[in-house]
A and B are shown apart, each in its own frame.
Chain A
Amino acid sequence: MTSSAPPSDPMTVTHYRRFERTDRLLHGFLMFSFLGLAFTGMPLLFSHETWAASLARIFGGFNAAGLIHRFCAIVMITVFVIHLSRIVQHLFIRKDLGILWGPASMVPQPHDFFELIAHLRWFVGLGPQPRFEHFTYWEKFDYWAVFWGMGIIGGSGLVLWFPELFAYVLPGWLFNIAMVVHGEEALLAVGFIFTIHFFNGHLRPEKFPMDSVIFTGRVTVHEMLEERQDEYARLVSSGRLDELASAAAPRWVYTLGRSVGAVAVTFGLIMVGLILFALLTK
C-alpha cells in the first residue's frame, strides 16, 4: 500500500493537510512527557526488578527521578489543558459543532462499530477492506484511551503528589485506590501506546517503519485514496478538498520526524521488553 514507493516522488505529489501545527506540537510534547513519565514511573511499579533499580539510578536516584516525573507530569497536564481549551475554542468560538458528531468527529459513532466488524472480517479474508472517514475506529480508541488515561492517571497522580491537601476533601483510603489506579492505568497506557499504538500508527506492514503524518501534518493523495476513501469522497463532493491541498512538508521536517519517531519507538519498545521480562520472570 502506501509505504511501498508510489510511482512518483512522494515529495512532489499533492498533499492534504491533516493535523494543524499546534496539534503536532502538542503530540510532540505528549510523546516526550509520556516517555519521561514511563521511564521514571515504571521502576516504582517494578521496584523488585534489578533493571528498575538501575533505571532509577540512571535518572539520578529517587529524588531526581521523582522530580523528572513531576516535571513531565506538568508538561503533560499543560498539553491536556491546551487541548481542552482548543476543543472549547472550536465549539464556542468557531462554532464548529462538527467535532461533536459527524464525519470529522472524534466521537465514536455507529459506523465505527460496523467498520470494526468489517475490518476484522477483512483480516481473516471474509470481506473487503472497509472504507474509512477522517478518523478510524482505532484512532478514536487511541484518542479516548489517552483522554481517559490523562484524566485518571493525571487525577490520581495529583492526589498522590499532594496527599495532605487532598485529605481535606478526600478520605485517606482513597489514596490507596489512587495508587492502584495510577499504577495499573499507567501500565495499560504504556503497554498500549508502546505496542498497539506503535503498531497501528507505524509498525504495521502498510506503514512500516513509520507514518510521518503526525510530524508533517500532511498525507499524500495516495494515502488519502487508499486509507480514507469516504473522507476523500466527502471532501470532493463538498468541494473542500482543494482547500486542504498543499505541497509536501520541507525535507527537514521528515528527517526530524523520522529521527524523533525512531527514538521514541526504540525507547518505547525497550520499556515493553523490560515490562515483559518482569512479568514473565515473576
Chain B
Amino acid sequence: MTRALIRLLICITAIIGPAAAAAAGPSAQAKGAPKPPTNDDCLACHGDAGAVGANGRSVAVKAEAFAASIHGAGGLACVDCHADLAKGAEFPHAVTLKKVPCAACHDKAVAAYETGVHAQARRSGKNLTAATCIDCHGTHDIKPSTDPESRTHHSKLLDTCGRCHGDEAIIKRGNIRVGNVVELFRDSIHGKALTRSGLTVAPTCSDCHGSHDIRRKTDAASRVYRRTVPLTCGKCHEGIVREYWTSIHGAQVEKGSPLAPVCSSCHTAHEISRADVEGWKVAVIKECGTCHEESIKTYRDTFHGQVTALGYSRVASCADCHGAHTIVPKADQRSMVNDANRVKTCKKCHAGATESFAQYDPHGDSSNRARNPFLFYTSQFMKMLLLGVFVFFGIHTLLWLGRGMQLKAAARLRGQGDDDSTEDGR
C-alpha cells in the first residue's frame, strides 16, 4: 500500500510539475479552459509498468503497444476514447472512468453487436461476463483483423473465442449450453486445416457465426439458423450445396420442413470430419436412422448393416446406395436406387452385379409378409425350428441332469462312490 501511495505521489508530481512550468509561461493563460492532457501526460503515470490505481489494480499502459495499435498509429489521443478526461479534469483523475464508447466511431459494428447473443446475454442479466468489444479486440493494443498479430486475425480468432468458449469454468458459469465447442472444432477438419495446415481458406468461428452480430441458431436471422446453414456452408462448399438443393432434403428444407436435415444434421457443426474416414462413415448411419427408423432397422439385419455396426466401413452404408447430397425418392429417375439405376449402384461394389443380383433387398424385412413373403415364411420356419429344438432338448437335458445327479448322490451315499453300480436305478 505504501508503495502504491509513493507511485501516486510520483504521478502527481509528474503532472503538476510540467503544468506549473507551463503556468509560468507567457501564453499559458491565453484561454480560460484547461487544456486536455496529451498522450505523454497520460503516459507519464500510466507508462510505468508498475502503475496501480487507488484500488490496487494495474493501470499500466504499454506505450509501444499503443503506438503500434491501429488507434495509436492513427494518431488518436488517449482522451479521444477516454472522453471524460478530455475536459482537463483534475489529476489524479477519478479511479473509475466512463466506459469507452466504441460506438462513437464504430457505430455500425456496435449496432451489429447489440443484435447478437453476447449483448443479449448481458442485457438479460443472465451472463454479465458475456463478451464486449474489448474481450475480443483488446484495449490499447487493438490491431486491424488483417494484421496477423491481431486477436481477431483469421489465425488467432479461435484462441480469442476460446478464451471463453474453450474454458470449462467460464462455460459452466456462463451456462453456455453448446459446451466446449472450441475443443471440438480444433479436432475437426476445419480446425486442423486452420491450425495445423495453416490454411487461410479454412473457416474459423466468424466465417459461420459472423463477428459482431453472432446470433443464436434459433434466431431466424442467424447465419446458423437451420434454413440458413446450407447458405452459410455454401459460401465455401458451393458445388455441394447446389447439389443439396436438388435433393429431397434440400427441397424439404426450402419448404420450411423442421425435420429435413441440413448440412450440420449429418456433418455436425463443430466436429466435422472428412467424409471418407471410417469412423465417420459408420457413425453417420445413425444420423440417417434418427429419421429413417424403419430403414435402419432393416438395414441392421443385413450383412451391410451388421458389418458397419461392428465399426467397419468397407461395406455399403446409406450413402453408398442412396447418395449423400443428391438423395431423391426412389421413384425419381435420378435416384440411385430407382429400378433403372439399381444394377449400376450395386456394381459400385459388386462388379458382376446383374438384374437378378439386384433383386436382393438391402432392407429385407423378415417380419414384413407383404414386402418379403418368402423371407417372412423362412424366418418363421427357422424360429419355430429353433424354438422346437431348444425347448425339447432343454427339457430333455434338464430331466437327464436331475436324474443323473440323483443317482450320483444315491451312489455316493451308498458306497462313497466306490461302487458305481446303478443297477437298481434301471
Contacts and interface: CB of A to CB of B under 8 A. Distances in A.
A5 B399 CA distance: 24
Interface stretch (B101-109, B178-186, B190-198, B360-368): B360-368
A175 interface: yes
A19 interface: no
Nearest to B387: A188
B139 interface: no
Nearest to A43: B310
Interface string B394-417: 101101111111011001000001
A213 interface: no
A179 interface: yes
Contact of A167 (B357, B396, B407): B357
Interface in A132-153: 138, 145
B382 A181 contact: yes
Contacts of B330: none
B385 A188 contact: yes
A265 to B, nearest CB: 15
B362 to A, nearest CB: 9
A91 to B, nearest CB: 29
Contacts of B352: 164-165, 167
A179 B401 contact: no
A123 B357 CA distance: 52
B131 to A, nearest CB: 42
A150 B383 CA distance: 18
Interface in A181-200: 181, 184-185, 187-188, 191-192, 195-196, 199-200
A122 interface: yes
A175 B401 CA distance: 41
Interface stretch (A24-32, A55-63, A82-90, A256-264): A55-63
Nearest to A46: B306
B400 A44 contact: no
A121 B268 CA distance: 66
A246 B408 CA distance: 29
A63 B314 contact: yes
A175 B302 CA distance: 10
The SS class assigned to the B binding surface is helix
A128 B426 contact: yes
**Residue among A124, A167, A195 with max Cβ neighbours from chain B (10 Å):** A167
Interface in A160-174: 160, 163-165, 167-168, 170-173
B400 A123 contact: yes
B356 A167 contact: yes
Contact of B306 (A2, A47, A165): A47
A171 B356 contact: yes
A62 B312 contact: yes
A177 B389 CA distance: 21
Contacts of B425: 129
B6 to A, nearest CB: 69
A271 interface: no
Contact of B375 (A2, A3, A176): A176
Contacts of B366: 176, 180
A198 to B, nearest CB: 10
Interface of B: 300-303, 305-307, 309-312, 314, 350-354, 356-361, 364, 366, 372, 374-375, 378-379, 382-383, 385-386, 389-390, 393-394, 396-397, 399-405, 407-408, 411, 417, 420, 422, 425-426
Give 6 nearest A-B pairs by CB, closest first: A172-B359, A205-B404, A164-B352, A62-B312, A4-B420, A172-B360
